[in-house]
Amino acid sequence: MIKSTLTTCPFCGVGCNFYLESEGNRVSGISPSRNHPVSRGRLCVKGWNSFEFVFHPDRLRKPLIKKNGKFKEASWQSAYALIVKNIRRVMAKYGPDSFAVVSSARCTNEENYLIQKFARACLATNSVDHCARTCHSPSVAGLMRSFGSGAATNSIEELPEAKCILIIGSNTPEAHPIIGWRIITAKDRGAKIILADPRSTILSNYSDLHLKLIPGTDICLLNGMMRVILKEGLEDKEFIRERTEGFDELEKTLEKYTPEYVEGITGVPKEILIEAARAYASLKPASIIYSLGITEHITGTDNVSSLANLAMLTGNVGKPASGVNPLRGQNNVQGACDMGALPNVFSGYQSVEDNQSRGKFEQAWKVKLSIKKGLTNSEMFQEPGRIKFFYIIGEDVVHSEPNSNHVVSCLKKAEFTVVHDLFFCKTAEYADVVLPASSFIEKEGTFTNADRRIQRIRKAIEPLPNTKSDGRIIMELAELLGYPMRYKNASSIMDEIAGLSPIFGGVSYERLEELGFLQWPCPDKKHPGTKIMHQERFACGKGRFFAIEHKPAQELPDGEFPFILSTGRILFHYNSATQTGRTTILSREFPENFVQINSQDAKRMAIKNKSKVSVSTRRGTLTVKAAVSDDIIPGVIWMPFHYANKLTNILTNDAFDPISKIGEYKVCAAKVEPAKT
């Protein structure tokens, strides 16, 4: 008999819903949910192909233990015993500061809650973090300090109602395709589309204005737009007066960002800058959409606060189809943050340093908790030897962290590393124990998408033999460590989260079944959830302007490395491609890494399209094929980061934003040469 299971896509943060059709333990088909408010019966190519990888022969089916440098299959019992023995040994020898836990944006909310609880209660450390550090930690920090809440202000389905959309640092149709479709719908309904991107992408065809800025000059561009708005009296004076603070300081800072000055730094012609500022300020409501082109800089947090400045200056916050909206990368990166898989907060963004919050969790969890903030991912992999025990779940850090070779040195220096994954990833090579996890279709739980929408995932098939969900593994280990974490089911974990976290107070599986989803904040059982944030007041009372100066990237082109290297995602792949790379249709389109280079630059260096070139930075060299094109500005080259056999991140710079600690993936100095044959 065919069973139909409604669930949520495991790839990007759009959170499309679909039905999986299964017979026994095989999935036979997929059909999009027509009623879903975000996807409305559509899926992108990744969504349509989101289950083939589950049955790939590469799936890990047994725990692996490394002995004398070689992995051997082992029983769960012996793998657990070895982990517990080494946790106890490292704890006795070095103490809790020697542990680091990397949680996963691919795991459910309930699993992330368990993982951070395990780190804090069993390992006595707040050093738990996840890949938000490498994508949207500046959104959490920047929006939190500007608005009092670090999440998207509006809902995806409002986008077609916008009169103007500013898309900056986002190749939306490839990275978040269903939101790309919503932007095109807005365009069809008459919205003005402003694109700020050094590359021409699908959206260039739909944009009214394309601001081709030099990577790393976003603050200068945004300050320039704000200065034009003020000089032309297009600001929302009432909103600024009634709802915000810090405006005078911002106004003073903007004075020097004349269109000519901005053109000199960003490369954007002053006429286009002025037109973009006028359009954004006068066509209301106006929405800002952004992604990693904004966040992955040493100024990531300041970039985000500059977007918040622009939105507040024009009164574009707290209204339908307006606001500042980060497009979260992974399916549950929003949820992993929300659940406290971060080194400074428990679930619901409650500070570990706040006595009242910590006391509440101590009482509920019946354990003494550390008052000290933990290490971020970037800090865990900063100094080889600092961390003695890594516990890494569903995250291929060797692939995804900047300056991969340095990450490898940190893993090699650790005394013990545990990895959970579906596949034997790059990071697993450096583990002592590798545990076979189960996928999104083999478990119950929830994911939270980019617009704070908590949605169910449901079990379509039983876990493949000998695999276990990450949540089950964590609970079993906690039990062996003498700290039982027993829950009847995923729903009862959500009940604990709701009981301890005011912004999720009204969330329960009963309500999710009834309503389909809930957008937080949802403080009580009668609350319908929040589609638009900051309507009457900001979460922090008044919105805060920050006076921010342009600051150049940490590593700029010079005589030896004359190009700016930037990186990103392509439509057919997803992050480290552990899943999409094991899906026939997705992996056949772009099977290998490449570098996009401007045609004038290529001609000057006698580089032909599809010829082999060496791309080098101060950290390494890769040989890949050239994609010669006019879709990128001269002086800038671009590479996707998906390919494990040609790791782009051996090239990227691990200089990080001092506030959010994100690495500067989007700008580093590079050179390109025809490859020696």
Q: Which is nearer to ligand SF4, 46 or 666 (CB)?
A: 46
Span of 43-51, 217-225, 343-351, 546-554 interacting with ligand SF4 by CB under 6 A: 43-51
- Assign 3-class secondary structure to 328-346: CCECCHHHHHHCCCCCCEE
Q: Which is nearer to ligand SF4, 39 or 126 (CB)?
A: 39
Residue 387 binds ligand SF4 (CB under 6 A): no
- The minimum distance between CB 467 and ligand SF4, in angstroms, equals 23
Q: Can you tell me which of 46, 199, 544, 573 binds ligand SF4, judged by CB under 6 A?
A: 46
- The minimum distance between CB 335 and ligand SF4, in angstroms, equals 14
- The minimum distance between CB 151 and ligand SF4, in angstroms, equals 17
Beta bridge partners of 245: 544
Q: Which is nearer to ligand SF4, 486 or 588 (CB)?
A: 588
Q: How far apart are CA 648 and CA 651, in angstroms?
A: 6
Q: Which is nearer to ligand SF4, 178 or 667 (CB)?
A: 178
Q: Can you tell me which of 43, 82, 481, 586 binds ligand SF4, judged by CB under 6 A?
A: 43
- The minimum distance between CB 338 and ligand SF4, in angstroms, equals 18
- Kindly state the tokens that stand for 535: 């309507």
- The minimum distance between CB 45 and ligand SF4, in angstroms, equals 7
Phi, psi of 25 (to 5 degrees): -105, 25
Cβ-closest position to ligand SF4: 47
Q: Which is nearer to ligand SF4, 9 or 225 (CB)?
A: 9
Q: How far apart are CA 109 and CA 91, in angstroms?
A: 28
Q: Which is nearer to ligand SF4, 178 or 490 (CB)?
A: 178
> HSE on the CB side for 62, CA within 13 Å?
9
Q: Which is nearer to ligand SF4, 290 or 430 (CB)?
A: 290
Q: Can you tell me which of 14, 213, 341, 651 binds ligand SF4, judged by CB under 6 A?
A: 14
**387-426 exposure pattern, b = at least 16 Cβ within 10 A, e = fewer:** bbbbbbbbbbbbbbbbbbebbbebbeebbbbbbbbbbbbb
Residue 363, classified by CB atoms within 10 Å of its CB into exposed (0-12), middle (13-18) or buried (19+), is exposed
Residue 327 binds ligand SF4 (CB under 6 A): no
- Kindly state the tokens that stand for 320: 């339908």
Which of 46-49's residues contact partners 24+ apart within 8 Å by CB, and which partners?
Answer: 46/9, 46/11, 46/12, 46/177, 46/571, 46/572, 46/574, 46/580, 46/586, 47/9, 47/11, 47/16, 47/18, 49/580, 49/583, 49/584, 49/585, 49/586
- Kindly state the tokens that stand for 263: 């053109």
Q: How far apart are CA 487 and CA 497, in angstroms?
A: 12
Name the residue type at position 33: S
Q: Which is nearer to ligand SF4, 29 or 658 (CB)?
A: 29
Q: How far apart are the first and last CA of the chain?
A: 58
- The minimum distance between CB 365 and ligand SF4, in angstroms, equals 33
Nearest to 5 by CA among 458, 326, 380: 458
- The minimum distance between CB 561 and ligand SF4, in angstroms, equals 34
Question: Which residues, 6+ apart, have CB-to-CB distance to 591 below 8 Å?
Answer: none
Span of 8-16, 109-117, 467-475, 578-586 interacting with ligand SF4 by CB under 6 A: 8-16
Restricted to residues 60-99, the positions that interact with ligand SF4 (CB under 6 A) are none
Phi, psi of 334 (to 5 degrees): -60, -45
Q: Can you tell me which of 11, 206, 594, 641 binds ligand SF4, judged by CB under 6 A?
A: 11
Residue 47 binds ligand SF4 (CB under 6 A): yes
Restricted to residues 519-558, the positions that interact with ligand SF4 (CB under 6 A) are none
- The minimum distance between CB 46 and ligand SF4, in angstroms, equals 4
Q: How far apart are CA 195 and CA 169, in angstroms?
A: 9
- The minimum distance between CB 469 and ligand SF4, in angstroms, equals 21
Q: Which is nearer to ligand SF4, 44 or 114 (CB)?
A: 44
- The minimum distance between CB 185 and ligand SF4, in angstroms, equals 14
- The minimum distance between CB 11 and ligand SF4, in angstroms, equals 3
- Kindly state the tokens that stand for 350: 């409650």
Residue 450 binds ligand SF4 (CB under 6 A): no
Q: Which is nearer to ligand SF4, 427 or 587 (CB)?
A: 587
Q: Which is nearer to ligand SF4, 21 or 476 (CB)?
A: 21
Residue labelled with tokens 């479709």: 181
Span of 39-47, 143-151, 316-324, 348-356 interacting with ligand SF4 by CB under 6 A: 39-47
Q: How far apart are CA 629 and CA 639, in angstroms?
A: 13
Residue labelled with tokens 């971020």: 376
Residue 12 binds ligand SF4 (CB under 6 A): yes
- The minimum distance between CB 25 and ligand SF4, in angstroms, equals 23
Name the residue type at position 6: L
Nearest to 446 by CA among 512, 514, 521: 512
In the chain, how many H helices and how many E strands?
23, 30
Q: Which is nearer to ligand SF4, 456 or 468 (CB)?
A: 456
- The minimum distance between CB 34 and ligand SF4, in angstroms, equals 14
Q: Which is nearer to ligand SF4, 201 or 244 (CB)?
A: 201
Residue 16 binds ligand SF4 (CB under 6 A): yes
Strand, coil or helix: what is 567?
strand
Name the residue type at position 303: N
Q: Which is nearer to ligand SF4, 367 or 570 (CB)?
A: 570
Span of 42-50, 354-362, 409-417, 519-527 interacting with ligand SF4 by CB under 6 A: 42-50
- The minimum distance between CB 206 and ligand SF4, in angstroms, equals 17
Binning the chain into helix, strand and coil, the percentages to the nearest 5 are 35, 20, 45
Neighbours of 457 (CB within 10 A): 26
> Could you say which DSSP state residue 437 is in?
B
Q: Which is nearer to ligand SF4, 545 or 641 (CB)?
A: 641
- Kindly state the tokens that stand for 394: 């569903």
Span of 40-48, 107-115, 145-153, 301-309 interacting with ligand SF4 by CB under 6 A: 40-48
Restricted to residues 151-210, the positions that interact with ligand SF4 (CB under 6 A) are 176-178
Consecutive H or E run containing 653? strand 653-656
Residue 9 binds ligand SF4 (CB under 6 A): yes
Q: Which is nearer to ligand SF4, 177 or 315 (CB)?
A: 177
Kindly tell me the sign of the dihedral angle through the C-alpha atoms of 109, 110, 114, 115. negative
Nearest to 527 by CA among 560, 559, 504, 555: 504
- The minimum distance between CB 572 and ligand SF4, in angstroms, equals 11
Q: Can you tell me which of 1, 4, 23, 44 binds ligand SF4, judged by CB under 6 A?
A: 44
Q: Binding-site residue total for ligand SF4 (CB under 6 A)?
A: 14
Span of 38-46, 273-281, 300-308, 380-388 interacting with ligand SF4 by CB under 6 A: 38-46
Residues of this chain that interact with ligand SF4 (CB under 6 A) are: 9, 11-12, 14-16, 39, 43-44, 46-47, 176-178
